[in-house]
Structure 1
Amino acid sequence: MIDTRATLDIPATLAEIAQAAAERTLPPVESWHPERTGDSEMRIAREGTWFHQDAPIPRPEMVRLFSTILRREPDGAHVLVTPAEKLTILVEDAAFIAVAVASEGEGEARRLGFTLNTGDPVIAGPGHAIFLRDEAPYLHVRAGLEARIARPVYYELADIAIAEGRDPAGVWSEGAYFPLIDA
């Protein structure tokens, strides 16, 4: 497995994550509907490694580039889309992994900023919910794309939830409450 996290410049503070999120612009993949379709021969493994023809993609810059043109279709399939073509990509679990979190504030005033394995910043809140599926934590990234929250990051969230003592145990971010256990 190639660890792309080693090459990421992970923001240390929530302000840095929020600034990166505000400055990030993505291609308008939702408006592209090319006629040419096919198979990219790519997959994203459960642990977040991107492969092409069963070989890991070694350059984090390439993974970041591909992640910007990733789209989830209404039927749940994942595709890489440009104005010229749409190619399927197999996603074994989630398209991204949340590898770091920064927290600011307490209780209902808390904000949680996540950094994904592609370097993307996401601030959890009403538009970017934290949720459980099969008892595993995930984060909504954009337009149906999700990030599985890495175990060390989940433990940080659990520490926050335990310290705040809510029932059910969970965390606040941007005024929204996200339970961390199935009630």
Structure 2
Amino acid sequence: MDLTRFQQQLKGTSSKARPLPPVEKWDPDFCGDINLTIALDGRWFYEGSPIGRASLVQLFASVLKREDENYFLVTPVEKVGITVEDTPFLVTQWQKEKGERTDDDVFTFTTQTGDEIRLEHAEQLELRVPPKAIQDPQATPIPYINVRRNLWARLHQNVYYQLLEHADEHANESVTSFSIRSSGKRFILGEVAR
């Protein structure tokens, strides 16, 4: 599989002005794996070299598909397997939009590929234990956010710590939890045993 040919097949399928391609409807034949890796730090590598063009990474991210635990880049005619070390996306920025009331505030997250996610539904955020290479000694679960189509993002460590500064603390007999409110709902960022 040639990455340049794959890029040519995608010309015109996605742009900031148009919605994402309907990859969930595309079911081409599997053409094999390519040596493309999304690293733990969110960088994309092809043949061991980083892909430096942000527009190219955004294009490939727009046609990313997950089936079970496997990741693929798909076009209407080809499907190639890639390696993802944890999640394909990394949340690198966040902002809090003020509502009329505190309960109306909305947190919006931005990934390394420019995807924006408004935190509005409970199923958008879940706590997971990250890969061993980046977990703490207690294997503490951290927040992951659903970007789209069963594709998830991990919060960059800086973003996570910044959010914890804004979090509310709730304690009971067994745990202390830290949460934020977005779109009128409570989202737990982490829990510590007491």
TM-score, normalised relative to structure 2? 0.75
Displacement of 1:169 in angstroms is: 1.7
Distance in 2, matches of 1:178 and 1:23, equals 31
- Is 1:37–2:31 an aligned residue pair? yes
Distance in 2, matches of 1:178 and 1:111, equals 11
Task: Verify the 8 A CA contact 1:101 1:115 in the aligned structure 2.
Answer: yes
Larger Rg, first or second structure (1 or 2): 2
1:4 corresponds in structure 2 to none
Task: Verify the 8 A CA contact 1:128 1:142 in the aligned structure 2.
Answer: no
Q: Which runs of 5+ in 2 are unaligned?
A: 1-15, 130-140, 172-176
Cα gap change, 1:55 to 1:128, in 2 (>3 Å): farther
1:175 corresponds in structure 2 to 184
Aligned partner (choices 95, 117, 120) of residue 102 of structure 1: 95
Cα gap change, 1:159 to 1:24, in 2 (>3 Å): farther
- Is 1:115–2:121 an aligned residue pair? no
Displacement of 1:64 in angstroms is: 0.6
Instruction: For 1:169, give the aligned amino acid.
Output: F
Identical columns (%): 38
Higher RCO (CA-CA < 8 Å; seq separation 6+): 1
TM-score, normalised relative to structure 1? 0.79
Instruction: For 2:120, give the aligned amino acid.
Output: G
Distance in 2, matches of 1:23 and 1:127, equals 28
Cα gap change, 1:104 to 1:24, in 2 (>3 Å): farther
Greater fraction of residues in strand:
2
CA-to-aligned-CA distance 1:33-77 (integer Å, 9 cap, x gap): 01242112211000011011111111111101100000111x221
Displacement of 1:24 in angstroms is: 5.9
Cα gap change, 1:53 to 1:116, in 2 (>3 Å): same
Task: Verify the 8 A CA contact 1:122 1:128 in the aligned structure 2.
Answer: no
**Runs of 4 or more consecutive aligned structure 1 residues displaced over 4 Å after TM superposition:** none
Q: Which runs of 5+ in 1 are unaligned?
A: 1-21
Distance in 2, matches of 1:181 and 1:69, equals 31
CA-to-aligned-CA distance 1:128-183 (integer Å, 9 cap, x gap): 6222111222111111101110111112211111xx44453201212322111136
1:160 corresponds in structure 2 to 166
Helix, strand or coil for the counterpart of 2:37?
Answer: strand
